[in-house]
Amino acid sequence: MKIVFASLGKGVIACALCLAQFHASLAKEKEPLVLSPSSKWNLNYADDSCKLARFFGTGDDRVAVIISRFESGNSFHLAVAGKPLTHFSADHITMAFGPDGGSLNRGFMAGSLGTFKPALFGSAAHLLKRDDNDETEDDNYNHEEHAAYTLRDLQAPPAADEEAAIQWLEVRQKARATVHIELGSMGQPMAAMRKCTDELMTHWGIDVAAHRQLANLPIPTKSPGKWLTSADYPSDLQARGAQGIIQFRLSVDADGKPTQCHIQQSSRPAGFDRAVCKALMKRAQFEPAHTRDGKAIASYWRSTVKFVAGR
């Protein structure tokens, strides 16, 4: 479980013609598939998330793009699904926003999105380029630095004109035709998304304005990778080879103790949700959030658990 190819004259000419036709065929196959919008952006206000969704292309080329956020900030989860992605591998793709936007090239998972198959899911995506290093999920992961980065992400929204300049998304893989998705200007959609996530946090009892002035968010006192172990993988689901991705949020009080576990999104089965919350409420501990004048206040901590069979 991861909680992580004789006579020459005419023959030569004929061969050269064949090669030219062959290379022309390859070039044609690798031309980008350009998809224009076939719906408007739809923003869904859910209890624990905000989702932007839009369709592109028609018929067998129809693709769905979903941008999901589970808190205020600049990063998001990205899902792209549809038949044009049939021959793309989750292990060898890059999704890039442009022109001159952010990119994501690791950590993808494959699946489905309702009737849209296949689907590729990525987390920690950014519309714009980031100046600092990518976050990692290995044993050297510094959770205090992660909390500091998350706070900066919350406190420094990008300028509206920077998001408005983003016009497209490309799904790329070597030796496969690029899928080029004409998003249109992302200024207004992302502004609406930010309004949604700020409202979302107020429903959790969070003072968004105060959080933008925090000195630190809750910081785990030890590696969260130790909060769940292989023993927490539900035995019946493991026997079936079931896998799951669970987005969760812990409410953390001023003493650093988790007071509630909320499942924000889950691929199910529900047994995974119960296992996650049971283990986290028992083992998770934090240094609490603090204001800049040193006062400890109630806040939250959120992350993702992946149950992967056979690991």
Q: Of the candidates 96, 91, 89, 49, which has an alpha carbon nearest to the alpha carbon of residue 73?
A: 49
Closest CA to 74 of 178, 188, 155: 155
Amino acid at 16: A
pLDDT of residue 207: 83
Can you give the pLDDT at residue 11?
Answer: 41
> Mind listing the pLDDT tens digit for each residue in 108-143?
888 888 888 899 998 889 999 976 544 444 445 566
CA angle 136, 141, 144 (to 5 degrees): 115
Q: What is the mean pLDDT of residues 288-303?
A: 90
pLDDT at 143: 66
- Mean pLDDT check: name the lowest of 34-43, 132-141, 229-238: 132-141
Q: Which two tokens stand for residue 246?
A: 């669970």
Quick one: average pLDDT of 5-11? 36
Q: Is the pLDDT of residue 15 over 50?
A: no
> Residue 241: which pLDDT band, with cuts at 50, 70 and 90?
confident
E strand residue ranges, the chain: 33-35, 42-45, 50-56, 63-69, 75-81, 94-98, 103-104, 109-113, 116-126, 168-172, 179-182, 214-216, 219-220, 244-252, 258-266, 286-287, 289-291, 296-297, 299-307
Q: CATH second-level architecture of 213-307?
A: 2-Layer Sandwich (3.30)
pLDDT at 144: 67
Q: Which residues contact 51 (CB under 8 A, 6 or more apart)?
A: 43, 44, 66, 67, 68, 69
Q: Could you give phi then psi for residue 149, rounded to 5 degrees?
A: -65, -45
Phi, psi at residue 52, to the nearest 5°?
Answer: -100, 130
- What integer is the mean pLDDT of 275-287? 95
How many whole angstroms separate alpha carbon 121 and alpha carbon 119? Answer: 7
Whole-angstrom distance, CA of residue 238 vs CA of residue 123:
24
Domain ranges for the chain: 30-127+142-206, 213-307
Q: Is 217 exposed, middle or buried (0-12, 13-18, 19+ CB in 10 A)?
A: buried
- 298, 252 contact by CB (below 8 A): yes
Specify the pLDDT at position 104.
93
Which distant-in-sequence residues (6+ apart) come within 8 Å of 73 by Cβ?
150, 153, 154, 197
Task: Tell me how crowded residue 246 is: count the other CB atoms within 10 A of its CB.
Answer: 20
Which has the higher per-residue pLDDT, 196 or 238? 196
The model's pTM is 0.76
Token pair of 96, please? 């890039």
Sign of the alpha-carbon torsion through 248, 134, 81, 159: positive
DSSP state of 294: S
**CA–CA distance, 200 with 191 (Å, rounded to integer):** 14
User: Rounded to a whole number, what is the distance in angstroms from the first to the last CA of the chain?
Assistant: 5
Determine the pLDDT at residue 146: 67
* Token pair listed for 193: 């998304």
* pLDDT of the residue at 26: 45
pLDDT at 1 (0 to 100): 44
pLDDT tens, residue by residue, 167-203 = 999 999 988 889 999 999 999 999 999 999 989 888 8
Inform me whether the pLDDT recorded for 266 exceeds 50. Answer: yes
Side by side, which strands form the sheet with 63-69? 42-45, 50-56, 63-69, 75-81, 116-126, 109-113
Predicted confidence band at 9 (pLDDT cuts at 50, 70, 90)?
A: very low
For residue 140, the model assigns a pLDDT of: 53
